[in-house]
A = this chain, B = another copy of it.
Amino acid sequence: MEEGMSDFCFRGENVGGNRGSATGTKCGRWNPTTEQAKLLTQLFSSGLRTPSTDQIQKISNQLSFYGKIESKNVFYWFQNHKARERQKRRKVDKDVIRTENSISMNFFTQNFTQLYHDSEPEKVTETLQLFPLNSFGESESNMKVHASDCRDNTMFTYTEEEQMNHPPLDLRLSFM
């Protein structure tokens, strides 16, 4: 679930070329290739959160070039990524609050007194949004805008060998 805590893991691609799973997975479930993951992440950070079935289809088509993939994989990917990002933030936020409270308390008298009032505020008072994404239900229109912002080529930075294996497919968000 959570991601990017204190560890940063980079899943290596399975050179084999074919796909199915990056690592030596028993091919039971889909596992994004590095390229697929890269693009998906790219889309996500560009603001895309809940792609429409249409978008999913297109994304899936694009990604299929890098390996076996079904649209439902894309669907789930976004679903999970979004949920986990949210969930993570929630947990972390609360932990931070807890930490702040506890450090401001005397270690020994730190009875569990107020530690229990439900710290619920989920209010996003933050304003450091890197992207103009509406934290909540984003609409199709918004996604389009963001998606188009994704026109940069950063997502095409391949690494040596991959460069060879993958023809220069234009992955610019042509869909939508």
Contact = CB atoms under 8 A, between A and B. Distances in A.
Interface string A122-147: 00000000010100111111110000
Nearest to A97: B57
A68 B162 CA distance: 33
B53 A175 contact: yes
Contact of A24 (B5, B22, B118, B143): B5
**Chain A residues touching B, range:** 35 or more
A55 to B, nearest CB: 11
How many identical subunits does the complex contain?
2
A94 B71 contact: yes
B28 A7 contact: yes
A151 interface: no
Interface of A: 1-14, 22-25, 28-29, 53-54, 56-58, 60-62, 64-65, 70-72, 75-76, 88, 90-92, 94-95, 98-99, 102, 108-119, 131, 133, 136-143, 173, 175-176
5 contacts: A3-B24, A53-B91, A61-B112, A72-B92, A72-B175
Given A7-B9, A71-B176, 15 more contacts: A5-B72, A6-B13, A6-B14, A6-B28, A7-B10, A7-B23, A7-B28, A8-B12, A57-B119, A61-B102, A62-B115, A65-B110, A71-B175, A75-B91, A111-B139
